[in-house]
């Protein structure tokens, strides 16, 4: 069994595409119309183009808003991405205007930081455990 695809709910796929590609640096892999204005829109890491895809999924289902609102109220990230250096990535993203809800925090062998993806989610970045 492998994880090939995971998703984050987004309020606006066009804005999510811009943020996840232009700001975070992911690369668009699939962009297929699926009816109306919705698309099957996935991005991947440029370092692993054949790796796990992230689906930027429209947040239209009525359960999504209360679920995300509760996560945000409690400061819980919806997803986590691995980076080589959390502090360096924090500084890079802040320089691009990304709003962080948690500055880099060392927790034993892992350092994390949490940011707002502008699409309705909190996302955590973390280094590989030492």
Backbone CA torsion sign across 22, 26, 29, 34: negative
pLDDT digits (tens, 9 = 90+) for 73-129: 999 999 999 999 999 999 999 999 999 999 999 999 999 999 999 999 999 999 988
pLDDT of the residue at 35: 87
Residue extents of the structural domains in the chain: 5-126
Asked if residues 53 and 72 have their Cβ atoms less than 8 Å apart, the reply is: no
pLDDT of the residue at 75: 96
122: helix, strand or coil: strand
pLDDT digits (tens, 9 = 90+) for 11-62: 999 999 999 999 999 999 999 999 889 999 999 999 999 999 999 999 999 9
User: For the domain with range 5-126, which CATH number is right: 1.10.10.10, 3.10.180.10, 1.20.120.1730, 3.40.50.2300?
Assistant: 3.10.180.10
User: What is the phi/psi pair of residue 71, to 5°?
Assistant: -60, -45
Asked if residues 56 and 42 have their Cβ atoms less than 8 Å apart, the reply is: yes
User: What is the phi/psi pair of residue 17, to 5°?
Assistant: -60, -45
Q: Is the pLDDT of residue 130 over 90?
A: no
DSSP secondary structure letter of residue 69: H
Burial class of 64 by CB neighbour count within 10 A (0 to 12, 13 to 18, 19+): middle
DSSP secondary structure letter of residue 20: I
Q: Are strands 38-44 and 27-35 parallel, antiparallel or unpaired?
A: antiparallel
pLDDT of the residue at 96: 97
Name the pTM for this structure. 0.94
DSSP secondary structure letter of residue 1: -
């Amino acid at each position: 069994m492998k994880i090939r695809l995971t998703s984050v709910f987004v309020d606006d796929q066009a804005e999510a595409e811009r943020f996840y590609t232009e700001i975070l640096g992911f690369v668009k892999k699939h962009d297929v119309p699926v009816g109306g204005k919705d698309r099957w829109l996935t991005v991947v890491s440029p370092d692993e183009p054949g790796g796990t895809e992230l689906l930027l999924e429209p947040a239209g289902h009525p359960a999504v808003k209360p679920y995300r609102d509760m996560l945000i109220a409690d400061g819980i990230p919806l997803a986590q991405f691995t980076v080589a250096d959390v502090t360096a990535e924090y500084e890079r993203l802040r320089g691009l205007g990304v709003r962080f809800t948690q500055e880099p925090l060392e927790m034993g062998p892992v350092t994390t930081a949490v940011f707002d993806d502008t699409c309705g989610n909190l996302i955590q970045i973390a280094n590989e455990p030492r």
